[in-house]
Chain A
Amino acid sequence: MHPDRTTHAPTPATTRSPRPVQDGGLLRLVTAGSVDDGKSTLVGRLLYDTKSVLADQLDAVRQASIDRGMATPDLSLLVDGLRSEREQGITIDVAYRYFSTPRRSFVLADTPGHVQYTRNTVTGASTAQLGLLLVDARKGVVAQTRRHLAVLALLGVRHLTLAVNKIDLVGYDEAVFTAVAEEFTARAQALGYPAARLHALPVSALTGDNVAGLSHRTPWYQGPSLLAHLETVPVESGLHRAPFRFPVQGVIRPRTAQHRDYRGYCGRIGSGSVSTGDEVTVCPGGHGTRIARIDTPEGPVRTARAGQSVTLLLDDELGVERGDLIASDPLPWPVTTFDATVCWLAEAPLFAGSRLLIKHGTRTTQAVVTDLPSLFDEQNLTVVPGPECLSLNDIGHIAVRTATPLPVDNYAAIPATGSFILIDPRDGQTMAAGLVGTPYAGDRPNGQQGTAP
């Protein structure tokens, strides 16, 4: 039996507490849904129910709704950003939304459901800890849902939540929800997700059922409301248990009387943790040394971990510079050729032989795409060998050769050193999101045997 329902209501969403404790940290999530399944309304509802929509914004939406002849405020208007979108009534790019409850702050990457969904979903998913998928209860899991699932799994988004929306339109029917939830769970598990990182719930974005608080119209649903779930899902990534990786952003040398000999290497810890006295290696040089001191914005510390911006001081004077990687065992192998999966984000297609720039960690170098062995057909979730090129929104395998060695890790193991972007050297455009390794294989991308990061 589920505990008392009231305990699952999110901490007061109706009265914004003036001094939230917010011990729950920051959760980054990405939404994904098809056209017309009510995603904008759901996001608008989350903002509205967490009091993130303030009076003047709501007034503007009320006025716009009246102008359009609507009886009630259209919450989706809260998240329609650019004028070109308002004119066309569509969403064309990733938009970031912010809301908070007394428990936790949220950054929501809101991605559109139709055009360029791969590009936008990949962008939003690259920084997300949780993927919020939306389906229409009347339609269930559709091809678009499967594609979104595949992309979120590929990017290693740690938690997946399925909101079965418009539950009011199927008469709050438990059987409809259960069928959709079971199909979602089975597909996500096939992609490597353990059940503990999956959750499905029935909602109505329009009426607010199970969004901020539990609905009495779905007494058969025994889980938390969407907001309560988002407030309590663990934000720990497990990345702090991975090997230590530290892309060096720069060298801090004050050269002042007070800090004459200070020489620190600044950066943000990509994975793992580091303590003073630890043995580390500078890649690609391969020189070993020890951590002499760790400076943080709050002063020196003994230990720091993934996600923290710090400055490391080393025991030995080494020629460390921006672009280098400070790492500990097991060390990444600096390579000039490797296989990767890319999501192609540019209008111009990618052909074998293309010369591009690659940014990996803090190093940018030249690269040649030497081969395009296969394309992932996410319409059918199959692998197509030997494509002529990769076009906008395509996901495919590439073989890369780089001008200087890069200390890469497999993306599925360490995203910080397993990810890269490809840049057009002529106009500087970002052409592709790259993941080191070839994780997808039909229905089993990243995180097989439950190793999704």
Chain B
Amino acid sequence: MVRSALDALESEAIHIFREVDGEFDRPAILFSGGKDSTVLVHLAAKAFAPAPVPFPLLHVDTGHNFPEVLEFRDALARRMNLRVVVARVQDWIEDGRLTERADGLRNPLQTVPLLETITAWRFDALFGGGRRDEERARAKERIFSLRNAFGQWEPSRQRPELWNLYNGRHQPGEHVRVFPLSNWAELDVWRYIEREGIELPSLYYAHRREVFLRDGMWLAPGPWGGPRDGETSRLATVRYRTVGDASCTGAVESRAADVTAVIDEVAASRLTERGATRADDQLSEAAMEDRKREGYF
């Protein structure tokens, strides 16, 4: 009997959740409302069943939210009896700790609220939904990724990871980012969502939406700005492949209205999910590496 790849990945992720529970005092799950963090919550529930998930969710809210995602977050938290800690970028802007950027992008502003919230709540481990297949700088990321007191990722300090003996030691002020989905590919995540019947925010599936074209991406109009002069919006049938800050997360034209159709589409896709839909990754070839060094995911 050969266990399926999904079974093997699921067992590995559950083992990782339990190791963190055993080795850290105050873990939390970074939750964006996207499919990867939703799968994380599902795996955490399985890891500790029939006991409840022993970690809160931490959501860094850029203020540029798709309303469906916030509703989804709150419904999930209610259903699973999870506490949600929200770090609002808007709060940091209002009290002057952060200044709005000229380009209006708020993704680059997430780092400070994230790190200050980690400090305030004394979180020592943060689960993230990052996968190594997403981007080249992530291919070398560890499953347990040590961050210094500034949340920074230092490639030279990363520890070798041997067998499944994860090393969670850290100094006061440091924390560890943990990536249980490291070895999953995008298609694995979707197949798992299908197999487990995991509910996602509705914008992952094809729907009619007003969009406008900017920098080659279909963005949704909203209080975050746009369409600007010269940009015209139109109604289109679209879906989202990733869910992030609404001002820089693009939709793709799609008729995939359910998970099976999405899997077919992903399998046949010619663009990686980040390349297709995330403006912040397109800033430079090394954008992700830079943001990791700064303490972003």
A contact set with B: CB distance below 8 Å: 16-20, 22-26, 54-57, 60, 79-84, 92-98, 100, 104-105, 107, 110, 119-120, 122-123, 126-127, 235-236, 249-250, 252-256, 258-259, 262, 266-268, 295, 297, 307-309, 311, 322, 345, 357, 359, 362, 415-416, 419-421, 423, 427-430, 433
Q: Which residues of B contact A423 (CB under 8 A)?
A: 167, 169
B96 within 8 A of A: no
Given A96-B140, A100-B185, A249-B15, 11 new contacts (CB under 8 A): A55-B271, A82-B289, A92-B155, A98-B133, A105-B5, A252-B50, A268-B11, A309-B15, A309-B47, A345-B160, A420-B165
Bound form: Cα–Cα A26–B12 in Å = 12
B280 neighbours in A (Cβ, 8 Å): none
List which B235-258 residues lie within 8 A (CB) of chain A: none
Q: Given known contacts A93-B140, A100-B185, is B160 in contact with A123 (CB within 8 Å)? A: yes
Assembled-state Cα–Cα distance A57/B271 (Å)? 8
Residues of B contacting A120 with CB < 8 Å?
160
**CA distance in complex: A126, B187 (Å):** 26
Min CB distance B117 to A, Å, is 23
The answer on a CB contact under 8 Å between A252 and B136 is no
Instruction: List 12 interface pairs A-B (beta carbons < 8 Å), by A numbering.
Output: A17-B267, A23-B2, A60-B285, A96-B132, A96-B183, A98-B185, A105-B5, A256-B50, A266-B48, A297-B11, A421-B162, A433-B160
Contacts of A430 in B (CB 8 A): 159-162, 167
Task: Report how far A56 CA is from B10 CA in the complex, Å.
Answer: 29
In the complex, are the beta carbons of A362 and B22 less than 8 A apart? yes
Residue of B nearest to A345 (CB): B160
Contact A307–B11 (Cβ < 8 Å) = yes
- CB neighbours of B82 from chain A (8 A): none
A92 to B158, CA, bound (A): 12
Contact B275 A56 (CB under 8 A): yes
B→A interface (CB under 8 Å): 2-5, 7-12, 14-15, 18-19, 21-22, 46-52, 132-133, 136-137, 139-140, 146, 155, 157-165, 167, 169-171, 182-183, 185, 187-188, 263-264, 267-272, 275-276, 285-286, 289
Interface pair B163/A127, CB less than 8 Å apart: yes
**B155 proximity list for chain A (CB < 8 A):** 82, 84, 92-93
Q: Which A-chain residue is minimally distant from B8 (CB atoms)?
A: A26
Complex interface: chain B residues within 8 A of A345 (CB) = 160
Task: Tell me whether A18 and B162 are in contact (CB under 8 A).
Answer: no
Among A82, A98, A295, A357, max chain B CB count under 10 A is at A98
| Most chain A beta carbons < 10 A, residue from B46, B136, B140 | B136
Question: Which among B3, B133, B140, B160 is the interface contact of A119 at CB below 8 angstroms?
Answer: B160
A80-B136, A96-B183 known; A25 vs B163 contact (CB < 8 Å): no
| Contact with B163, one of A19, A20, A266, A415 (Cβ below 8 angstroms) | A415
Name A119's closest neighbour in chain B (CB-CB): B160
Q: Using Cβ atoms and an 8 Å threshold, which residues of chain B touch A295?
A: 49
User: Which of B3, B146, B188 lies in contact with A25, CB distance below 8 A?
Assistant: B3
Cβ-defined partner of B286 (8 Å) among A25, A55, A83? A83
Question: Are A25 and B275 in contact, with the CB atoms below 8 A?
Answer: no
A76 CA / B219 CA spacing, docked (Å): 34
Contacts of B49 in A (CB 8 A): 252, 295, 297, 311
Q: Which residues of B contact A18 (CB under 8 A)?
A: 263-264, 267-268
* B269, A266: Cβ atoms closer than 8 Å: no
Q: Which residue of B lies closest to A92 (CB)?
A: B155
Output the nearest chain B residue to A255 by Cβ-Cβ distance: B51
Q: Which residues of B contact A428 (CB under 8 A)?
A: 146, 167, 169-171
What is the chain B residue whose CB lies nearest that of A127? Answer: B163
Q: In the complex the two chains form, is B272's CB within 8 Å of A57's CB?
A: yes
Q: Nearest Cβ distance between residue B127 and chain A, in whole angstroms?
A: 16
Given contacts A98-B183, A107-B183, A419-B162, contact A268 B2 (CB under 8 A): no
With contact pairs A18-B268, A25-B5 given, residues A81 and B136 touching in the complex (Cβ less than 8 Å) = yes
Chain B residues with CB under 8 A of A250 = 18, 21-22
Identify the closest chain A residue to B275 (Cβ): A56
Most buried by B among A60, A235, A359: A359
The answer to whether residues A309 and B268 also contact, given A83-B289, A430-B167 and a CB cut-off of 8 A, is no
Cross-chain contact A252 with B51 (CB below 8 angstroms) = yes
Q: Are A127 and B289 in contact (CB under 8 A)?
A: no
Given A122-B162, A307-B11, A309-B15, does the pair A16, B139 have CB atoms closer than 8 Å?
no
The 5 A-B residue pairs whose C-beta atoms are closest, nearest first, are A428-B169, A56-B275, A309-B14, A254-B51, A26-B5
Given the complex, which residues of A lie within 8 Å of B22, measured CB to CB?
249-250, 322, 362
Complex CA distance for A80 and B136, rounded to whole angstroms: 7
B275 and A57 form a contact (CB under 8 A): yes
Taking a contact as CB atoms under 8 Å apart, the answer to whether A95 and B160 are in contact is no
Residues in B with CB closer than 8 Å to A236 are 2
Q: How far is the CB of A286 from chain B (nearest CB, A)?
A: 23
Chain B residue nearest in CB terms to A361:
B165
By a CB distance below 8 angstroms, the chain A residues around B14 are: 268, 297, 309
